[in-house]
A and B are shown apart, each in its own frame.
Chain A
Amino acid sequence: MIHALRKEMLLQWRTRAQFMAVLVFGASSLLLFSFAVGPNAEMLRQFSAGFMWLGLLLSSTLTLAESFHAEMENRAMEGLLLLPTSPRVIYYGKALANWFQLVLLGCALFPVMVVLYDAGTTDLLRLFLVICLGTAGLSAPGTMYAAMTAQVKSKQTLLPLLLFPLIVPALLASVKATSLIVLGDPMQQLGPWIRLLAAFDAIYWSLCGLLFGRVVEE
């Protein structure tokens, strides 16, 4: 497991230029969202959390689709499966690495949101918790679907098509929780949303790990 994670991290470190490209993509999509609303500062502040998570979601499809790219070259996936471990280990290694990358992406997009939409907060610890839980919800099913769509002809269309409907609850809860942190939480509603996110993560991290063995078997 540690070795699988280490391999993925090394792979990501060696392709860090790609991470920068995804980050720029996310930031530019945040810039574009503001044109959809118009230069109304108050409104942009209201919607800031939604924009940030949509930006993160759109960029996440790029990183997730890339995550199995290396395994498809020279049939590296078969080599991995021949290792004396269960495919579950490969899955969790990949999912953790994707999660880590998405957390980084979320932390990097947040300052962009602060600057563009004037929606900052000092409660960074809770914000970090929400980013961690929300991106975990994207990464678990995302890695699973990436493993399938990487082997298919039109993978760029198919991954979002499968992933977007599925992560609706995670997106909803993350947006709500982030906007409660940024805009204030007079009714103490943050707790239930974080619990919902945690439940979503728990379900999909276990379910996808359980099913992954069947997906990659030859």
Chain B
Amino acid sequence: MNRRVVPGIVLLAIGAYFGFVVTLATFNGITGLGFGIPTGLQATIAALCAVGGALYFLSIDDVGDSTTPAAWLAGAGIVCFAIGSYIGLFVAPPEQFMGEVQRIMYVHVPSAWCALLAMTIAFASAVLFLLGNDWKWDARMEGSIEVGVVLAFLLCCQGAIWAKPTWGVWWDWDPRLTTTAVLLFAFLGILALRRFVDDPVKRGIWSAVATIIAYVDVPIVYFSVRWWNSLHQQQSNPGTVSRQFWLPLRANAFGILFLMVAFIMLRARISALRLKTELAPPPLAEAQLGEAV
């Protein structure tokens, strides 16, 4: 196995250990496994290790060689997602006012985090591509935009499903909803642009420029819509949410995060391979040249 994956695996293992310890402490009351570190700090360590590990895997991935790191990451994602969903659906208590409907939060909020993270990765890739002209970043940008668009679409669907029973409407012109919709359309437009441009150099530069422009727009859209109209519930933080609620939330967040990074890696690999065939000379050219001479 490649030696470079070791730090990533170590990070993920530390994250998994502390996640496990926090779960035991929350639901079974078993403490003493956490080396005397307070539970809140343990959870933070787990979160940092998970995000760091996932991004580390993304950064060492050399798009095109092997799919093994992505497969491992996807496996970890499925495990986390299964654990989080199990706790969220069967162990965690129903919410006081919204009842069982609230359980959709365990996928809704992680999807939102990850959609935004995917767009941020796309933005970072676009900047790095423009600065360094490395095709790896073009492939990563395409992968993360596509995964981000899928997540943003899922986010809108989940939001509508949650909004109907709680607010009484499918859609509301709230800042976060509207921003997500605008984000979805802006990045869909960039994917369309990529489809229509045949020259790979122009395609890479233009979509990177468009990604930067669209990403800068996100906070402006958010604040303008907030001035315009607001109904969405206030953002919660671990201080206002009981640990029995945020534990499945975190587990699912890691699950979706790992799956997302794995999908980005696999999708970037496809882009890189496609690009390689595009940039390579057509196989017939040489034979035809020989005949002509």
Contacts and interface: CB of A to CB of B under 8 A. Distances in A.
A165 B225 contact: no
B213 A211 contact: yes
Interface residues on A, range: 20 to 34
B206 A141 contact: no
Interface stretch (B69-77, B111-119, B185-193): B185-193
Given A161-B192, A169-B221, A207 B206 contact: no
| Interface residue SS majority, chain A | helix
The listed residue with most B CB atoms (<10 A of its CB), out of A161, A164, A203, is A161
B275 interface: no
**Overall SS of chain B's interface:** helix
B180 to A, nearest CB: 11
A169 B196 contact: no
Contact of A211 (B178, B212, B228): B212
Contacts of A208: 213
Contacts of A203: 216, 220
Given A165-B189, A168-B221, A172-B225, A148 B182 contact: no
Contacts of B183: 165
B35 interface: no
A184 interface: no
Contacts of B202: 151
B210 A172 contact: no
Interface of B: 130, 178, 182-183, 185-186, 188-190, 192-193, 196-197, 202, 205-206, 208-210, 212-214, 216-217, 220-221, 223-225, 227-228
Interface of A: 141, 144-145, 148-149, 151-154, 158, 161-162, 164-166, 168-169, 172-173, 176, 192-193, 196, 199-200, 203-204, 207-208, 211, 214-215, 217
Given A145-B210, A158-B193, A161-B189, 6 more contacts: A141-B213, A161-B192, A193-B227, A196-B220, A208-B213, A215-B206
8 nearest CB pairs, A to B = A165-B186, A169-B224, A165-B185, A162-B189, A161-B189, A169-B220, A152-B196, A211-B209
